[in-house]
Structures are given as structure tokens and as C-alpha cells.
Structure 1
Amino acid sequence: MARSDAEARALLAEFGIDEAPIDPVQLAEKLGVLIVPQEMPDDVSGMLLRRGDEQIIGVNQKHHENRRRFTVAHELGHLRLHRGRPLILDTDTRVNFRDTVSSMATDREEMEANRFAAALLAPEPMVRRAAREADFRTAQELVHLMAERFRMSDMAMNYRLINLGVIADPT
């Protein structure tokens, strides 16, 4: 099991969460992370700011609710998996941004944070159980049903189902 998946599973177990949909904002709050919806450029989904014991996730308030949920889960992935990148300020602060480049997951930390977010929002056992119980005719219908069930975008759920081997090809 990948480190991202193991960390997501451990976080869910830590708080006894075993039913979807998972609320990443509630998890963040339980971890003492402040969630701040704010105005951001369209190509920035969110950011994680760490300063000492303070942890803040900024989320683009203009984005769709499902995207904001994934962004919070993604930033929690950075929090659990990565030390953060330095940002030159007048204080000792570390920041991770989620933007159009990071959402394409071209670097290792972004791929891990995306994988963590998918595993947190759509845990494998829950996905497999829901897929077995779903009434669908096509892979596209399954993706849509599962996306609604787990409150994710169709695209994010499509990737999750492919990565879990539930479906073979993108819909």
C-alpha cells in the first residue's frame, strides 16, 4: 500500500470514520487546522500555511464545493506527508499551494497529496462496496453515481476508479 493511502486510512481510523461522504473540513478542524475560504486567482485552488503550531488551509471560495472538498483533503495530505516548501517572508513560514500545475500532479509531492485526497474522500473498501451495490449500465454511469455518493467531481472519481482497477478506461 502506498504511503499516501496508508496515511489517509490512518487518519480515518484515528477519528473512527467508516462511512461516506467523508467531511475533510471536519477532519481538518479536529486536527486543529483552520479552514479559511478566500478570494484567490481562478488557477489557485488552495494553500497550506504552517507557522510553528499554527496550520491554516486557504481554499478558493469561488470553486465548486466538490473541488473545495478535494482541495482541503489535498492540503491535509501535504500536512501529513510533507514538510512544506519555504516561502520567503519576514517570518518562519512554510506554504504549499494547490494550483493548475499542482493539480496536474507533475511532481512527487503533488501526486502524493492528490493520491492522499482521493484515498481520504473515497477509501478503497467503501468504494468497492458501493460499486458492488450500485445499479448501473455503463462505466460512465458508475463514475457519476460514485462521484455523487462520495461528493467528488466525476473526473476525480474516474481517476479513483481506474487507479483501484474498478474500471479499465477513462469515461
Structure 2
Amino acid sequence: MSRADVAARAITDQLDPADLPVDPEKVARELGAIVVQQGNDTGVSGMLLRRDGQIILGLNSDRPPVARRLTLAHLIGHLQLHRRRDLLLDTIDRHRYSKLSSMPLDREEAEANRFAAALLAPENLVRKAVAEAEFGTAAELVEILADRFEMSRAAMGYRLMTLGVVMDL
């Protein structure tokens, strides 16, 4: 289990499974962060700012709801895993889920991606949902679970691959 998985599990183990999908805004507040949403056309999807004992997580409100959820979970990953970073700007393309996102070329982004997926789709709940789902193909499973956990299909596909539930999409 990776460091990102352990950090996400420390949070999700405290949640009530009935509270699905996971509310990353509630998680952020419980970690002491202030979440601010504002539209922008700069290509920034989110930001993390630590200053004077405050933590501010900013989201681009022009992004679709599942994208904002993912961005916020990603920023919480940076908050928990990369404590030396006082300022971080996430561009829309920076934390996309792909086969390359888990490559060690940018370790912090790969960790934040993995954390975000593990926070939004806790392993025990994903495995339970897989066991209960009726599907014929991996793509159908991804679609069912993406809807259930309010994630993009790409992020859910990534999560299922990291859990070894599917090998390829």
C-alpha cells in the first residue's frame, strides 16, 4: 500500500459508509482548511495556500462538479502529503488521470492523484460495489462506479487499475 493510500485511508476510515459519496469539502473543513470557489479562465483548476496558520483551498467554480470534487481531493492529497509546499497552483491538465499519471516523473502529482482516487473511492467500498454490480465489460463497471462515487470515468478507471480490479481499459 502506498503512502497516498495510507493517508487517504486514515481519513476514510473515520467516515460513515452511509455518507457516500465522500464529501471532499467536508473533509477539507475537518482538516482545518477554508474552501473558496471562484470562476477563472486562466487554466487553473485549484490552488493550495498555507499562510499565517491558515490553509486555503481554492477551486475554479467554472469547472464541472466532478472535476471540482477531484481537484479538491487532489489538493487535500497535497495538503496531507506535501507539507513543505506553502503555495501550489494546479492547472486543469496537471492532475489528469492517465496511464502516465502514475509514472514517477512527477512524484508529488502522482501521489496526489492516487490520494484523490483513494479518498473519493475508498477501497473497501469499491470492492463491495464491484461485488454487487451487474456488468459485462470493464468499461461498464467503470461507468457504474463512476456514477456511484461521483467521479469521472477516467479517475474511476485509474482507481480500479490501482486496486487491481481491472488491468486495462
TM-score (norm 2): 0.89
Cα deviation 1:17-70 (Å, max 9, x = unaligned) = 334210000111122211111122353210111113100111010111011001
Q: Aligned partners of 2:9, 2:52: CA distance in 1, in Å?
A: 26
Cα deviation 1:128-154 (Å, max 9, x = unaligned) = 110010011111111000000000001
Matched residue type, 1:34: I
**1:162 matched residue in structure 2:** 161
The equivalences for 1:107-118 within 5 A come to 107-118=106-117
The equivalences for 1:132-147 within 5 A come to 132-147=131-146
Matched residue type, 1:107: D
Q: Does 1:96 align with 2:88?
A: yes
Q: CA RMSD in A?
A: 1.5
**1:69 matched residue in structure 2:** 69
The runs of 5 or more residues in structure 2 that have no matched partner are none
Cα deviation 1:86-111 (Å, max 9, x = unaligned) = xxxxxxxx211111452144411111
Q: Aligned partners of 2:121, 2:136: CA distance in 1, in Å?
A: 21
**1:89 matched residue in structure 2:** none
Matched residue type, 1:127: V
Q: Aligned partners of 1:43, 1:140: CA distance in 2, in Å?
A: 29
Deviation at residue 84 of structure 1 after TM alignment: 4.2
Q: Aligned partners of 2:130, 2:42: CA distance in 1, in Å?
A: 33
Q: Does 1:34 align with 2:34?
A: yes
Please say which structure displays the higher CA radius of gyration: 1
TM-score (norm 1): 0.88
Identity %: 49
